[in-house]
């Protein structure tokens, strides 16, 4: 039988997507729900908006959707969230480590507290969630761990020391997780997007527009064209589709990979 990622069914599976109240995480969560997965949402935002999001996803896709606002810089909160997910859903089948923050500054001015926060949220949280779910996944004989890294997990850019270091770390963790689960039915891969227009990147567009006295459109065009030969942002839905592919049977023997979704950024 041909293996079609388009018809991948995740019915009966539960996905925890960290940082899924916004941007890429929300798009991945919605794509997984559209394939039948129950969801545990996580991330920050106004309580009313998060509840509206939770109920919209549940009603639209006919899946169970829960929310836990655990701060991903807090290992004890992560432990509580995973324990809650086990009690409510019986376990986590798909873990998407997506929560992330950015801070842009030259090394000599980089605030130490921003370094610590970026490493905690973008890297250490991936370790904590993984260590807490991997034994159950191995015991079940199926699991998917998707780490949303970045092109900055594979190359550097100025003024992003903490982010680039954390994302390179995520790719290292992805490889070790893949090796330790290689015979178990569990896979672990990193997705490495180029620019995606989310609130995280909008801040960088705003900074560029202000610094260089550019219009929003010109700041966006320059940001993208400096790095991406495709000359357009990657869409959130495109990243969602790649995540679903990695959860499909076609990707059963794909593990330890860092997959760029970057309009040829890294081909240069």
- Interface with ligand NAD (CB under 6 A): 19-25, 42-45, 71-73, 98-101, 121-122, 148, 150, 193, 195-196, 198-201
3-state per-residue secondary structure call for the chain: CCCCHHHCCCCCCEEEECCCCCHHHHHHHHHHHHCCCEEEEECCCCHHHHHHHHHHHHHHHCCCEEEECCCCCCHHHHHHHHHHHHHHHCCCCEEEECCCCCCCCCHHHCCHHHHHHHHHHHHHHHHHHHHHHHHHHHHHCCEEEEEECCHHHCCCCCCCHHHHHHHHHHHHHHHHHHHHCCCCCEEEEEEEECCECCHHHHHHHHHHHHHHCCCHHHHHHHHHHHHCCCCCCECHHHHHHHHHHHHCHHHCCCCCCEEEECCCHHHC
Smallest gap from Cβ 125 to ligand NAD, in A, equals 7
Give the nearest distance from C-beta 187 to ligand NAD in angstroms: 19
Label the pairing between strands 143-148 and 38-42. Answer: unpaired
Compute the distance between CA of residue 27 and CA of residue 238 in angstroms, rounded to an integer: 9
12 or 80, CB closer to ligand NAD?
80
What is the nearest approach in angstroms of ligand NAD to the Cβ of residue 76? 13
Residue 163 known to be catalytic: yes
Which residue number, 7 or 239, has a Cβ lying nearer to ligand NAD?
239
Q: Which is nearer to ligand NAD, 31 or 150 (CB)?
A: 150
Question: Nearer to ligand NAD by C-beta: 34 or 157?
Answer: 157
Q: Rounded to the nearest whole angstrom, what is the least distance from the CB of residue 252 to ligand NAD in the complex?
A: 25
CB of 160 to ligand NAD, least distance (A): 10
* Cα 140 to Cα 171: distance, rounded to the nearest angstrom: 25
Marked catalytic residue, from 163, 233, 245, 265: 163
Q: Which is nearer to ligand NAD, 184 or 230 (CB)?
A: 230
Catalytic positions are: 163
């Amino acid at each position: 039988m041909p293996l079609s990622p388009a018809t991948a069914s995740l019915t009966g599976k539960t996905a925890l997507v960290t940082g899924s109240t916004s941007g890429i995480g929300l798009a991945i969560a919605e794509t997984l729900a559209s394939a039948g997965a129950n969801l545990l949402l996580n991330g920050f935002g106004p309580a009313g908006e998060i509840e509206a999001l939770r109920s919209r996803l549940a009603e639209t896709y006919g899946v169970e959707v829960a929310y836990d606002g655990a701060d991903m810089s807090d290992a004890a909160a992560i432990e509580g969230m995973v324990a809650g997910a086990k009690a409510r859903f019986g376990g986590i089948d798909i873990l998407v480590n997506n929560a992330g923050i950015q801070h842009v500054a030259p090394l000599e001015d980089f605030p130490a507290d921003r370094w610590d926060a970026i490493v905690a949220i973008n890297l250490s949280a991936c370790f904590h969630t993984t260590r807490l779910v991997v034994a159950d996944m191995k015991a079940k004989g199926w699991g998917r761990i998707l780490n949303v890294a970045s092109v900055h997990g594979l190359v550097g850019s100025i003024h992003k020391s903490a982010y680039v270091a954390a994302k390179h770390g995520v790719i290292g963790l992805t490889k070790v997780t893949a090796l330790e689960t290689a015979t178990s039915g569990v896979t672990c891969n990193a997705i490495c997007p180029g620019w995606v227009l989310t609130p995280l990147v909008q801040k960088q567009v705003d900074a560029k527009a202000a610094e260089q006295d550019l219009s929003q459109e010109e700041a966006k065009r320059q940001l993208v064209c400096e790095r991406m030969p495709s000359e357009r942002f990657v869409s959130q839905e495109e990243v969602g589709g790649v995540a679903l592919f990695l959860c499909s049977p076609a990707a059963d023997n794909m593990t330890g990979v860092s997959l760029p979704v970057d309009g040829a950024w890294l081909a240069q």
